Amino acid sequence: MHRLVVVALLASVAGLAQAQGKTFSYEAELAQAARRAATTAGGVAWTCTDTRCTASGRGGNVSVKGCSELARAVGPIARYRSEIKALSAADLGECNRIAQGAGGAAAKAAKGPAKPQRATTPEIAFTGVAPGGAAATVERKP
For the segment 30-60, what is each residue's pLDDT rounded down to a tens digit?
999 999 999 999 888 999 999 999 999 888 8
* Dihedral sign computed on CA atoms, order 26, 31, 37, 38: negative
Do residues 95 and 66 touch, judged by C-beta distance below 8 A? no
Per the prediction, the chain carries an average pLDDT of 76
pTM of the model: 0.58
Return d(Cα 87, Cα 61) in angstroms, integer: 10
Query: DSSP string covering the chain, please?
Result: -HHHHHHHHHHHHHHHHHHHHSEEEEEEEESS--S-SEEEETTEEEEEETTEEEEEEES----HHHHHHHHHHH--EEEEEESS-B--HHHHHHHHHHHHHHHHHHHHHHH-PPPPPPP---EEEE---BTTTBPPPEEEE-
Domain ranges of the chain: 19-103
Q: How far apart are CA 73 and CA 37, in angstroms?
A: 10
- The proportion of the chain whose per-residue pLDDT surpasses 90, expressed as a percent, equals 48
> Which pLDDT score, from 0 to 100, does residue 128 have?
61
